[in-house]
Chains A and B, each alone.
Chain A
Amino acid sequence: MSDEPEKGLLRWVTTTNHKDIGTLYLVFSLAMFFLSGAMALLIRTELYRPNLMFLSPLFYNQLVTSHGLIMIFGAIMPALAGFANWQIPLMIGAADMAFPRLNNWSFWLLPFAILLLVSPYFIGGPAPDMGWTFYAPLSTTYGPPGTDAMIFAIHMLGISSILASINIIATILNLRAPGMTLWDMPIFVWSWLITAFLILAIMPVLAGTVTMMLTDRHFGTSFFNAAGGGSPLLFEHLFWFFGHPEVYVLALPVFGIISEIIPTFSRKPLFGAMSMIYAILAIAIMSFVVWVHHMFTTGVYLSTQLFFMYTTMIVAVPTGVKVFNWIATMYKGAITLEPPMMFAVGFVFLFTLGGLTGVMLAIVPADYQYHATYFVVGHFHYVIVSGLYFGLVAGAYYWVPKWTGKMYNFTLASWHFWLSLISSNITFWPMLLVGLAGMPRRIPDYNLQFTDFNQLATFGAFAFGLSQILFVIAMRQCIKGHQKAGQTIWDGAKGLEWRLPTPLPYHTFSEPPKVEGKTYI
């Protein structure tokens, strides 16, 4: 076992080191973020003014579909997996993940899956154009040929997620340092343990659903075809049984990241750490009984609507507990606003805003008005971009200097924060307003009265996209810069990973550390 990594491309193809694979995940995620972000900018450019400008409606729909799928499966999930790969072994004192080869396998499935997903733009198209939810019969009876590529890509992405989850669960349950009980684990590790179980419980459902789509398209089955005794609504049920917990798959690890950052920069232990774990668990369990809130307008019974309305609103309770705990942690803390903390506070504020618009959508009569409008688009972009993306960036600013031993420029990162904060609100707030005014989603053209706010949103989107270049520069400084990070990077940080030398050696914890007492909680 060499202490130094091999050189060259082969290192990245064959590596089984959790740090290398974490890096691969994060770099891939950033690349996909920019690819999918470029698609978003094309969409926003088309929406700059009414009438069709330069995209055909078909290509517009293809972009909307690819943007959603790549952002969720290619950008956000791999970013979370990247943090998990880097941090989980470090935080629990393990030498590596439980299945290092499986780890490599689950990463390399991703680029091939995305290649397959975008392949219909170049060969075997047209590309899928039915939105990221790929509802039947748009994706079955009326799906373009490129839908097959999407189905196989989702299979590969699903395998990747399942393998990663198995690996993470086995690592956490089996490779913790001696003396570290489950209740001693950091919140980030807890959040990933619960998330991994969540992934295992939903990804096979998605895999089954897309397999049914495939057989409906080519092998004469009628799972989703009403003419053959099936039901398109069955597709919606199956999809959202996966789709809503998927939102929490994206959110829970970010909750873990924020729960690490806020105590560090408040110089206080996390307020109500146990309740934080129970809240994550409650959110994960509740996420299985809310899916019909995506389907209120499909004609389900009023009693069913009410049940799912109440369950959806109940999810706000453990989420509220988390927000309360973060704020209570900051209360009377010796707070300093370094870039990770700025993004963490920004996350708490914006995610709460996004969550509240979600509660609005959960109200059945109101949802009849909001359904399929830009309000929904504004809501989930507040949650995912303004919320989760901020959390991911906070994590990167928090941990990357420790990994690489180089520090980024604080002024640059602060500019990144303020520009992102302002521009994301300029982008997504108008979406809520035009949605309330009745602008439907997934259209390349719109009525005249929505012009002003759409122009504002387009302006904001370009500003947001451009301001992310500052993040790339900051990360480059962490890798190639000259400013060295000290041994103690953040004076309030606690945990096994902070006891290791800076930068982190290629192999860590070859001998497991001894953990005594409650290090974190």
Chain B
Amino acid sequence: MIARSQTIVPSILPFALVSGLFFLALGFMVYLQLGTHWLFALVPGVATIIVVAVIWVMQLLQAPVHMHSRKNLNYGFGLTVFACFILWFAYLQIPLFHMVCHRFGIHGGVEHHHQASQHIIDTSRTIPIHFTSLVMQGMPCNITLDQKTSHWHPGDHYRLGVTINNPSDQTLIVHPLLSASPERSSLSLHFKEGLPDPLVLTPYQSFHQSLEIDFDHDFPQDIKTLFFSISLSNKTNAENPGKQNMWYQIRTRYASLKRFL
């Protein structure tokens, strides 16, 4: 731990080495993407790096050695070896990862695969399903589902009736969004046909569709209940952003405060 004054000499070598690395990277890209012969693509960068490295090492060997510079080199060498070990460790992760997957059967690893089946109905499991529908605030239409709750068996086939009404005297462009919670459960729900998007409803028009849903046999064991929702948003409002109720209310509140002041 001895600090001594150092001979700090400016050098172009580091910049030249960086240039060599940059040329090497560019050459690699040219080789990979344009199919240029590797000799033409890689040699300029490699040659620059070799020349600079040789000069650098020669200068290092000629430089006077102080105790601290030798210790510095020892630290530098040790830490470089450590960095190389970590690089090796990154590659070691691959067999480790596959071994863990193999042993515990997680992440779809070998010897463990899911297979969806529509033929076997798992009557030993009954999943409560809650249906909800949402309509965006201020949107003049309503949505009705023909059931509020149900109990489904994995592997079975179900229907859900959806009715969307436009009681207003204007044409509505509606975006129906289907979602399931928890999110993973959506992987086990397969629709024969989705709701039309966008759904254009003329004044007083009503739209009905029966959704046909295949509920996977391998529905995750840890999901005990399921929420299924259909939301309606209205594209026509999107043309007037900033005029929704909430923003309007904030402005009104501020305006009244200003009058008070």
A7-34 Cβ-contact flags toward B at 8 Å (1 or 0) = 0001101111100000000000000000
Report yes or no: B21 in contact with A208, Cβ–Cβ below 8 A.
Answer: no
State whether the Cβ of A477 lies closer than 8 Å to any Cβ in chain B: no
A198-234 Cβ-contact flags toward B at 8 Å (1 or 0) = 0011111101110000000010000100100101011
Report yes or no: A205 in contact with B25, Cβ–Cβ below 8 A.
Answer: no
Q: Interface with A: B155-163, B203-211, B230-238, which one?
A: B230-238
Cα distance, A178 to B75, chains bound together (Å): 19
State whether the Cβ of B178 lies closer than 8 Å to any Cβ in chain A: no
A262 to chain B, nearest CB (A): 28
12 CB contacts below 8 A, A to B, read: A1-B9, A102-B76, A104-B14, A105-B15, A148-B33, A166-B76, A169-B75, A204-B87, A204-B90, A208-B91, A237-B97, A451-B242
**For residue B83, which residues in chain A have a CB less than 8 angstroms away from its CB?**
162, 166, 200, 203-204
Report yes or no: A449 in contact with B33, Cβ–Cβ below 8 A.
Answer: no
A160 to chain B, nearest CB (A): 9
Q: Known: A96-B6, A234-B93, A297-B183. Contact between A170 and B75, CB under 8 A? A: yes
Q: Interface with B: A66-74, A149-157, A342-350, A376-384, which one?
A: A149-157
A448-462 Cβ-contact flags toward B at 8 Å (1 or 0) = 110110010000000
Q: Which of A112, A153, A166, A209 contacts B79 (CB 8 A)?
A: A166
Most B-side CB within 10 Å, residue of A93, A159, A237: A237
Cα distance, A149 to B29, chains bound together (Å): 7
Other A-B pairs beyond A201-B86, A299-B107, 9, CB < 8 Å? A16-B9, A49-B238, A100-B8, A104-B11, A104-B15, A152-B28, A166-B83, A205-B90, A234-B98
Cα distance, A238 to B87, chains bound together (Å): 11
Cα distance, A152 to B3, chains bound together (Å): 37
A278 to chain B, nearest CB (A): 23
A201 to chain B, nearest CB (A): 6
A146 to chain B, nearest CB (A): 9
Report yes or no: B29 in contact with A207, Cβ–Cβ below 8 A.
Answer: no
State whether the Cβ of B115 lies closer than 8 Å to any Cβ in chain A: no
Q: Which of B2-34 contact A (CB under 8 A)?
A: 2-15, 17-19, 21-22, 25-26, 28-29, 32-33
Number of interface residues of B (CB under 8 A): 72
Q: Which of B207-254 contact A (CB under 8 A)?
A: 222, 233-235, 237-238, 241-242, 244, 246-247, 250
Q: Which of A15, A49, A93, A115 contacts B241 (CB 8 A)?
A: A49
Report yes or no: A1 in contact with B8, Cβ–Cβ below 8 A.
Answer: yes
Report yes or no: A105 in contact with B3, Cβ–Cβ below 8 A.
Answer: no
Q: Which of A51, A105, A507, A511 contacts B17 (CB 8 A)?
A: A105
Report yes or no: B79 in contact with A165, Cβ–Cβ below 8 A.
Answer: yes
State whether the Cβ of A122 lies closer than 8 Å to any Cβ in chain B: no
**For residue B12, which residues in chain A have a CB less than 8 angstroms away from its CB?**
13-14
Report yes or no: A448 in contact with B237, Cβ–Cβ below 8 A.
Answer: yes
State whether the Cβ of A368 lies closer than 8 Å to any Cβ in chain B: yes
**For residue A320, which residues in chain B have a CB less than 8 angstroms away from its CB?**
none
Report yes or no: A452 in contact with B244, Cβ–Cβ below 8 A.
Answer: yes
Binding site for B on A (CB under 8 A): 1, 6, 10-11, 13-17, 49-51, 92-96, 98-102, 104-105, 108-109, 112, 115-116, 124, 145, 148-149, 152-153, 155-156, 159, 162, 165-166, 169-170, 173-178, 200-205, 207-209, 218, 223, 226, 229, 231, 233-234, 237-238, 241, 297-302, 304, 368, 371, 447-449, 451-452, 455, 507, 509-512
Report yes or no: B91 in contact with A455, Cβ–Cβ below 8 A.
Answer: no
**For residue A512, which residues in chain B have a CB less than 8 angstroms away from its CB?**
2-4
B126 to chain A, nearest CB (A): 21
Q: Known: A124-B29, A451-B244. Contact between A109 and B18, CB under 8 A? A: yes
B223 to chain A, nearest CB (A): 11
**For residue A226, which residues in chain B have a CB less than 8 angstroms away from its CB?**
108
**For residue B106, which residues in chain A have a CB less than 8 angstroms away from its CB?**
299-301, 304
**For residue B11, which residues in chain A have a CB less than 8 angstroms away from its CB?**
14, 16, 101, 104
State whether the Cβ of B104 lies closer than 8 Å to any Cβ in chain A: yes
**For residue A170, which residues in chain B have a CB less than 8 angstroms away from its CB?**
72, 75-76, 79
Cα distance, A116 to B4, chains bound together (Å): 39
State whether the Cβ of B82 lies closer than 8 Å to any Cβ in chain A: yes
Q: Which of A98, A177, A449, A510 contacts B5 (CB 8 A)?
A: A510
Report yes or no: B97 in contact with A116, Cβ–Cβ below 8 A.
Answer: no
**For residue B247, which residues in chain A have a CB less than 8 angstroms away from its CB?**
451-452, 455
